[in-house]
A and B are shown apart, each in its own frame.
Chain A
Amino acid sequence: MNKRRAPGPLPRLIAAAVCLLSAFAAGGCLKPVSLDVCGYVSAIAVDEGRDGEYYFTLALQRELAEQNIESEGGAILLADSGEDLFEAVTRMQGSVPYTINFTRANFIVVSRELAERGLLSELARLDHDRLHIRTSAAVMITQCRAYEFLGAMYSNNDADINKLQSALTLDGRRTGMVRLMPLSRLIEAERAGTSDFCTALGSRDPEIVTDMEQKRAEAEGKDPAENVSPGERVGGLKAFMTGTALFSGARMTGVLSRDETLFLNLMMGRLESGFISADTPKGRMTAALTNSSSRLAVRKNGEGLLIVLTVRVLAEPLSRPAELSRKEAEEFLQNELPAMLAERVDAVFAKLRAAGCDPLCAAAKAGAGGREYALSELRVTVTVKPAA
Chain B
Amino acid sequence: MEARVKTKRTKGISDGTETNAGRIGRAETLSVTVLSLISTGLFSAFEAGELGTGFAAVLTRPAALLLSLAPVLAAALTLRGNGETGLGETLRMGLGKAAPIAALPLAFSLTLTAALPLAEFTGFIRSFMFDSVPTLSVLAFVIPVFAYAALAGLEPEGRAACILLPLAAAALVIAILPAAHEFEPRRLLPFPSPGEAAKGVPAGVSLFLPVLSALLINLGGIGGAERAGRYAAVSAAVSAAVIFAALAALGLVYPAPVLRGMSLPLARIDFLSIKQSYALRLDKVLAMVWLAGSMLAQAYCVYSAARLMASSFGTPLYGPFALALSIAAGGLVLACENALGAGRAALRLYSRAGFLLPIPTLAAGALSGVLTRRKKQAPKRTPS
Could you say which of B186, B260, B274 contacts A136, with CB atoms under 8 Å apart? B274
Known contacts A136-B280, A188-B255, A194-B255, A182 near B272 by CB under 8 Å: yes
Could you say which of A129, A130, A132, A192 contacts B255, with CB atoms under 8 Å apart? A192
- Chain A min CB distance to B8 (Å): 12
Chain A residues, Cβ within 8 Å of B132: 130
Q: Which residue of A lies closest to B9 (CB)?
A: A2
* Stretch from B85-93, B166-174, B198-206, B263-271 at the A interface: B263-271
Q: Are A365 and B274 in contact (CB under 8 A)?
A: no
Give chain B's interface secondary structure class: loop
Q: Are B271 and A129 in contact (CB under 8 A)?
A: no
B74 at the interface (CB under 8 A from A): no
Q: Are A191 and B274 in contact (CB under 8 A)?
A: no
- Alpha-carbon distance A369/B202, docked complex (angstroms): 34
- Chain B min CB distance to A202 (Å): 15
B338 at the interface (CB under 8 A from A): no
Known contacts A129-B128, A192-B258, A194-B255, A364 near B189 by CB under 8 Å: yes
Encoded as 1 (CB less than 8 Å from any B CB) or 0, chain A from 167 to 197 comes to 0010000000000111011011001111000
Q: Are B274 and A361 in contact (CB under 8 A)?
A: no
- What interface size band does chain A fall in? 20 to 34
Give chain A's interface secondary structure class: mixed
B276 at the interface (CB under 8 A from A): yes
B275 at the interface (CB under 8 A from A): yes
- Chain B min CB distance to A197 (Å): 13
Chain B residues, Cβ within 8 Å of A129: 127-128, 263
Known contacts A106-B276, A129-B263, A135 near B257 by CB under 8 Å: no
- Alpha-carbon distance A138/B257, docked complex (angstroms): 21
A34 at the interface (CB under 8 A from B): no
Q: Are B275 and A134 in contact (CB under 8 A)?
A: no
A162 at the interface (CB under 8 A from B): yes
- Chain B min CB distance to A146 (Å): 18
Encoded as 1 (CB less than 8 Å from any A CB) or 0, chain B from 240 to 274 comes to 00000000000000111110100100001011111
Chain B residues, Cβ within 8 Å of A136: 270-274, 280
- Alpha-carbon distance A384/B203, docked complex (angstroms): 51
- Chain B min CB distance to A242 (Å): 19
Q: Are B268 and A188 in contact (CB under 8 A)?
A: no
Q: Which residue of B lies closest to A107 (CB)?
A: B274
Known: A192-B256, A192-B257. 7 other contacts (CB 8 A): A182-B274, A187-B258, A192-B255, A194-B255, A361-B186, A364-B186, A365-B189
Q: Enumerate chain B interface residues (CB-CB to A < 8 A).
A: 7, 127-128, 131-132, 141, 184, 186-187, 189, 254-258, 260, 263, 268, 270-276, 280, 283
Q: Enumerate chain A interface residues (CB-CB to B < 8 A).
A: 2, 25, 99, 106, 129-130, 132, 134-138, 162, 166, 169, 180-182, 184-185, 187-188, 191-194, 361, 364-365
Closest 6 CB pairs of A and B: A136-B271, A192-B255, A191-B257, A138-B274, A135-B271, A192-B257
